[in-house]
Amino acid sequence: MSFHGCSRKLAAAEDAKASIESDIHPTSAVVPAQLDITDDGRQLHQCGPAIVEHLKSKSLAGLDVLVNNAAVITHLFQEVYAVNVFETVAVTESVRPLLNRGGTIVDVSSAIRSLALLLKTPGIPGMPEYSSSKTALNNLTVQWAIEEQKNGSGTRVVSIYPGAFSASSSASKTWVLVNSGNMIKSEGIKVPEK
């Protein structure tokens, strides 16, 4: 089994691999790769085909898991939606045909996208761009889950909320604060059986 870890910077992907090296099973491989879906020079929706090209160059027959983890936080709606929503759609739509039967799509979201939570708390002030993009991602997660069930592919589509973490950018270090791991049960989804 191989895991392809894509990062904006190859060094970051290599560092991530090094940090888990002792936990990698001898029959598995971790392949660091550079892929920056935030690259301003890249035309929108070029990342999906770039990932497919990378995977085909490694002669992979298919994928078991796709993790959509890319995100940016700025005060520009267009920039946030380009990465957090539109490129995630492009990558997912490009890679879905490569998923093996019974594969999984994991969308990394945030508790601040929760409509129920936003009604109870003001959310994070000044972040409507980010929180609304994660609300859109959660809607996509539900839609993709319904599509996969209708197609009978056996592909699971799930959303996770990892909690607070530190994200380094070239200019600063930012803390992303969320309701760590406390998903509101009424917001969990289960696609009804046919």
Tell me the C-alpha distance between 186 and 167, whole Å: 29
Q: What is the DSSP letter of 38?
A: T
How much is the average pLDDT of 145-154?
A: 92
Instruction: Look at residue 183 in the predicted model and tell me its pLDDT.
Output: 39
3-state secondary structure of 16: helix
Contact yes or no for 92/106 (Cβ under 8 A): no
Tell me the C-alpha distance between 32 and 130, whole Å: 27
Instruction: Look at residue 185 in the predicted model and tell me its pLDDT.
Output: 40
Tell me the C-alpha distance between 82 and 4, whole Å: 23
Tell me the C-alpha distance between 59 and 52, whole Å: 11
At 137, the pLDDT band (50, 70, 90 cuts) reads: very high
The residues facing 178 across adjacent strands are: none
How far from 39 is each of 43, 81, 95, CA to CA, in Å? 9, 14, 19
At 147, the pLDDT band (50, 70, 90 cuts) reads: very high
3-state secondary structure of 7: strand
Q: What is the pLDDT of residues 82-123, one digit of tens each?
A: 888 988 898 898 888 888 888 899 998 887 666 666 666 655
Instruction: Look at residue 47 in the predicted model and tell me its pLDDT.
Output: 65
Structural domain boundaries in the chain: 63-187
In the CATH hierarchy, which fold is given to the domain comprising 63-187?
Rossmann fold (3.40.50)
How much is the average pLDDT of 129-139?
A: 90
Q: What is the pLDDT of residues 50-89, one digit of tens each?
A: 777 777 777 677 788 888 888 888 888 998 998 889 888 9
